[in-house]
Amino acid sequence: MNSAVIAGTGCLCACGNSAETCFEGALTSSARFALPLGRVESAYAASYPVFLAADEIVNARPQDESLSLHYFLTAAGEAFFNAGVFPAELAAKKRVGVIVGTSVDASFHCFDLYKSRRIGKTSPASEQELAHYFASSTALAVSRRYGFNGPFQTVVTACASGTDAVGLARSWILSGLCDAVLCGGTDEINLIPYDGFIRLMIAAKERCRPFDKTRCGINIGEGAGALLLMNEETAREFSVRPKGYVLGYANACDAYHPTAPDPEAKGLIKAISFALKDAGLAPQELAFINAHGTASQANDAAEAAAFNTLLKGVPVWGSKGVTGHTLGAAGAVEAVLTICALNKKILPPTTGFSQPDDTIGFSPSTKTLPLAKKAALSDSLAFGGCNAAVILGAEDYYG
């Protein structure tokens, strides 16, 4: 079997506090969409709303954890519960790795430190912050928290980080480097990406509309997705009932532009093609595509070019209509939602979509659709021309 077993999943974002409630939010188009007043200090905070995690999750953060780390540990706890496995028992018997994708938690949370160093202001407190910065690694913190003794890696490939983390975790399983890997992505609302997307003039003042003719930009969001992967032997030993499978993965960089996607989607086409080949699947065997679908003009058009080239006729879901763009967490959150859809055999509607765009060449899901096929694609486009794709299988993929 050229796949990794998904033993458990966990998720939190604007449309729910667990994988189950996030998927329910996707089905009902419910999400917490509000201005980030009190969360970011920005001149734009009164004009550009975001997708926010629930207050009870935010307020439960321990003082010694970043919000991004807290989100991931919350989702990871759900993944272990969902798998029916105690982390300590797994750590005692198996080589367990950790791979976490993030944007904010890699460096943006130290913005105050950067400002003080820039003006030459130092203090014992700032020196402690500097030491914290050099020692910080989301994956390391997670590995230490659970007492795992396997390798750990924090992946920072911008908005493809979560997808890359899941794909790399599968490679650690297949190579024999690990028996199990806790993987996923996490990010919080933060000033730098919040202001950054606004200044790139791709942020929207209203709720995003993926693939819609009237789409006018991105709403950033926050949250985390966690997946516990295992090899077959470990899954059997711990009596795990698979929740799904990671079947294939690829990443391809087109180096088109620092922030804009390639209009011809050459890198994305390669990533999807390689991922399908890795999974041993043909396009017509896919139940659906969980698209990156940020609702910016350039992103949706580039994705459409790839889908129309490789995946004509495969249903498309734009899940960011209920999650927002959760940055480094996006690919992981979408992987969890994709598994939920495959296992429940239903595809949610694309929230925000109402008017077809002739230049796109297709309409995403507009109502709940039944699913008969057992595999799906989730793709991510990122700054720097980074394109990632992962193929996921349902819990009954192997019958």
Please, are residues 336 and 355 in contact by the beta-carbon 8 Å criterion?
no
Using CA atoms, how far apart are residues 128 and 139, in angstroms rounded to an integer? 21
Q: What amino acid occupies position 122? A: T
Ranges of each domain in the chain = 4-393
* pLDDT for position 279: 98
Annotation says 15 is catalytic? no
Is residue 382 within 8 Å of residue 261, measured between CB atoms? Answer: no
Among 380, 86, 372, residue whose Cα is nearest residue 390: 380
Q: Which is catalytic among the residues 22, 70, 183, 325?
A: 325
Say whether 292 is catalytic: yes
Per-residue pLDDT, 131: 63
CB-based contacts of 196, cutoff 8 Å, min separation 6: none
Cα dihedral 191→195→200→202 (10° resolution): 100
Using an 8 Å Cβ cutoff, are 304 and 298 in contact? no
Taking every pair of Cα atoms in the chain, the longest distance, rounded to a whole number of angstroms, is 63
CATH superfamily of 4-393: Thiolase/Chalcone synthase (3.40.47.10)
Catalytic residue among 11, 13, 159, 178: 159
Catalytic choice (22, 292, 340, 386):
292
How far apart, in whole angstroms, are the C-alpha atoms of residue 329 and residue 221?
9
Tens digit of pLDDT per residue, the chain (399 long)?
799 999 999 999 999 999 999 999 999 999 999 999 999 999 999 999 999 999 999 999 998 888 999 999 999 999 999 999 999 999 999 999 999 999 988 777 667 777 777 777 766 556 666 666 665 689 999 999 999 999 999 999 999 999 999 999 999 999 999 999 999 999 999 999 999 999 999 999 999 999 999 999 999 999 999 999 999 999 999 999 999 999 999 999 998 898 899 999 999 999 999 999 999 999 999 999 999 999 999 999 999 999 999 999 999 999 999 999 999 999 999 999 999 999 999 999 999 999 999 999 999 999 999 999 999 999 999 999 999 999 999 999 998
Please state, in angstroms and rounded to a whole number, the distance separating the CA atoms of residues 37 and 41.
8
- Cα separation, 32 vs 20, in Å, equals 16
> Chain-centre distance of CA 49, in angstroms?
20
109 labelled catalytic? no
What type of residue is 80?
F
pLDDT at position 78 is: 98
Q: How many whole angstroms from its chain centre is CA 193?
A: 16
Rounded to a whole number of angstroms, the CA Rg of the chain reads 20
What the block records as the tokens of 345 is 């055999």
In angstroms, the CA 318 to CA 336 distance is 14
pLDDT at 108: 73
Q: What is the reported pLDDT for 64?
A: 80
